[in-house]
Chain A
Amino acid sequence: MGDNRDDKMNDSKKPKIIAIYGKGGIGKSSTASNVAAACADEGYKVMIIGCDPKSDSSITLLGGKRIPTILDLMRSGVDITEDDVVFEGYNGVKCIEVGGPEPGIGCAGRGIIVAIQKLKKISKAQDECDLIIYDVPGDIVCGGFIAPIRKGLVSEAYVLTSGEYMPLYAANNICRGMSKINTPISGVICNARSVSREEEIVHKFAEEMGSDLIAFIPKEQIVQDCERDGFSVMERAPDSEIAQVYRNLARTIMSRNTSVMAKALEDERLRELTR
């Protein structure tokens, strides 16, 4: 894990655009923001685009503050410019929140589609980035949540899971779905929940569906402590062990350019793995 990068900067001008998928609540947003912060520490220009109606992707990069969302502004009928929706957070990370309706009202999926189209129109900031992370909610409940990929915006999809059966089951479904829409998987990340043989299980899963395990993030109280105060681990506890894990993951992602069309496992096999 955490291989050495030979090229310091992304020399091709095209930004690396990734999304991390996984079961709801498994840790996508905290992984995304810590990776964003770690890449910024490495000198990369980073942007994070929160595509979750709960708008919680960038809070820990903004010292706990909330920013106006694209959809809120669109709804109020103002003419939106880049400056209204793109905010600089920790170490220059550009933060954007798509926003969306209250739970149970309207259509959040359509919201994502409209907002990312709007963003594309008004913002050139994306062109100057080395890394753009789309942070999506756990359950891809409808077409809108997959729009960043469908619209050809995301070039690399990562899968985040723990070694528990349900998160693996969700991860497996995501792999199947991605293959269906011809989108390869660039790697599996384990966000541990401290279950037995966890690394081995996720490693096996990754291997059997054709990809590999690129990081093992332990479960640490410090992640939640920093989060509670409104910060990423990278900012609040840069010398912690887990900060080094995020740093390595960031380097791996920046240097990685392999991806595979995933082959989802049979459910029976999944159960066997976790038994």
Chain B
Amino acid sequence: MEKVKKEISIIHPRPSSIVAALYTLRDLDVDVAILHGPPGCSFKHARLLEEDGIHVVTTSLDENGFVFGGHDELVALLDKVSEMFNPKLIGIVGTCVSMIIGEELHDAVLEANPDVPVIEVEVHAGYRNNTKGVLFALESALDAGIISEDEFDRQKVLLEEATIVEKRHGAASKEYLAPSRGDLKYKVAQRIIDLLKEGKRGITIMNAKKETGYMFADVTVAVNEVAKQLGVGSNIVNMANIDDTLGLPRVRHHAKCIAADFKERGIVIHENIGGMDEYPIAGDVAGKLIEEKYSDYDFVIITGVPHAIPMDCIPGMEIISVTNGPRQVLPMKEMGHDHVIVEIDLHPKTLGVNNIVESEFGATLREVAKDL
């Protein structure tokens, strides 16, 4: 019996495993996701996912459901969504309530017997790492024959890595992390322009998690535009995790779209550092490339999941990082990032889109450069 290291007790609210399962179902291209639980559970994200094109419905368990179970409600809802939305693939997600009272999702599926595959995810919000929700969804998808064993194994490794990244320098690294808005955008924009003017050479690294890349890519674009404007376009090297041969179909689609937009705007991605679900490991790839080829560069602008880039690969460089996590500011400052910028409310703006969307920092940079 091995004593495990006592885990710290984190008190700031964090992403939920139920929500993580919902997003995973979205990546698996379900047409309908059924939340088996109380009406308000995961409301905000359910709403966002509707913007992303999937139907999210709930069995709306109430006090009666808590006491007497919600089997009939789930069967009825399965029937209803089959009729209303004509889905090709359905997902069911458990909640704290339905799991505590021991609801069997599978029994309801057997009874309703829809003629399309159903991914049943037995999950609640009580897991320390929300990646559990992803894992359970993928396990069920594997059982339902939606993904291959190889893809499952690949994702599992990525999830483990993602959990490690969050524990090391992310939102799970401290007992309490206060949210922060980070450094002032125009000041950091000014700093980048100064560096470019001085003829300094810089690296942009987009290490984005899936669809968030639609906005982080805009920072890459803006930096290149401004560098070009200042006549030093060739001083910039671009890296991005936009390999469109890796990951679930939806994730590959994002990579294709973003790559196409880069191309259209004349941005060359010199180093493709991985798939859009590889943000926990693409940082290492970027780090190695820097050590091999770009160790004499002066500054680096990292977007997405900047804390996944190992610090010892970028010694002496001025580090500018752009995150969408307000709780990520403090840990990254502690790592030694010189400037940390937060794109507030990034995620909602990247749902349901197929093109790069303007970031606040990108816009600021362009605006400051205009006045030169």
Residues of A within 8 A of B (CB): 73, 77-81, 83-84, 107, 109-110, 113, 142-144, 146-147, 150-151, 181
The answer, among B1, B69, B100, for a CB contact under 8 Å with A80, is B1
B100 contacts across to A, CB distance below 8 A: 107, 109-110
Q: A143-B103, A146-B102, A150-B107 are in contact. List 5 more A-B contacts (CB 8 A).
A: A77-B4, A81-B1, A109-B101, A113-B99, A142-B102
Q: Flag whether B2 is at the interface (Cβ < 8 A).
A: yes
A150 contacts across to B, CB distance below 8 A: 102, 104, 107
Q: Say yes or no: A79 contacts B104, CB within 8 Å.
A: no
Closest A-chain residue to B2, C-beta based? A79
CB distance from A90 to the nearest CB of B (A): 24
Residues of B within 8 A of A (CB): 1-4, 6-7, 69, 99-104, 107
Q: Say yes or no: A78 contacts B102, CB within 8 Å.
A: no
The answer, among A73, A84, A110, for a CB contact under 8 Å with B102, is A110
A144 contacts across to B, CB distance below 8 A: 102
Contacts A143-B69, A150-B107, A181-B107; is A109 near B2 (CB within 8 Å)?
Answer: no
Label chain B's interface by main secondary structure: loop
B7 contacts across to A, CB distance below 8 A: 77
Q: Considering the chains assembled together, what is the distance between the CA atoms of A109 and B107 in angstroms?
A: 18
A78 contacts across to B, CB distance below 8 A: 1-4
Count chain A CB atoms within 10 A of each CB in B4, B7, B69, B101 and give the residue with the most.
Answer: B101
Closest A-chain residue to B100, C-beta based? A110
Q: Considering the chains assembled together, what is the distance between the CA atoms of A151 and B4 in angstroms?
A: 29
Q: Considering the chains assembled together, what is the distance between the CA atoms of A93 and B6 in angstroms?
A: 34
Q: Considering the chains assembled together, what is the distance between the CA atoms of A240 and B7 in angstroms?
A: 54
A73 contacts across to B, CB distance below 8 A: 1
Q: Say yes or no: A142 contacts B4, CB within 8 Å.
A: no
Q: Say yes or no: B99 contacts A77, CB within 8 Å.
A: no
Q: Considering the chains assembled together, what is the distance between the CA atoms of A143 and B94 in angstroms?
A: 15
The answer, among B2, B4, B99, for a CB contact under 8 Å with A110, is B99
B2 contacts across to A, CB distance below 8 A: 78-79
Closest A-chain residue to B69, C-beta based? A143
Q: Considering the chains assembled together, what is the distance between the CA atoms of A273 and B43 in angstroms?
A: 54
Contacts A77-B6, A150-B107, A181-B107; is A113 near B102 (CB within 8 Å)?
Answer: yes
Q: Say yes or no: A84 contacts B103, CB within 8 Å.
A: no
Q: Considering the chains assembled together, what is the distance between the CA atoms of A78 and B16 in angstroms?
A: 24
A81 contacts across to B, CB distance below 8 A: 1
The answer, among B1, B3, B102, for a CB contact under 8 Å with A147, is B102
Q: Say yes or no: A84 contacts B1, CB within 8 Å.
A: yes
Q: Considering the chains assembled together, what is the distance between the CA atoms of A109 and B3 in angstroms?
A: 27
B1 contacts across to A, CB distance below 8 A: 73, 78-81, 83-84
What would 14 A/B residue contacts be, using CB atoms closer than 8 Å? Answer: A73-B1, A78-B1, A78-B4, A79-B1, A107-B100, A109-B100, A109-B101, A113-B102, A143-B69, A143-B102, A143-B103, A144-B102, A150-B104, A150-B107
Q: Considering the chains assembled together, what is the distance between the CA atoms of A80 and B1 in angstroms?
A: 6
B104 contacts across to A, CB distance below 8 A: 143, 150-151
Closest B-chain residue to A79, C-beta based? B2
B102 contacts across to A, CB distance below 8 A: 109-110, 113, 142-144, 146-147, 150
Q: Considering the chains assembled together, what is the distance between the CA atoms of A109 and B69 in angstroms?
A: 13
B101 contacts across to A, CB distance below 8 A: 109, 142-143
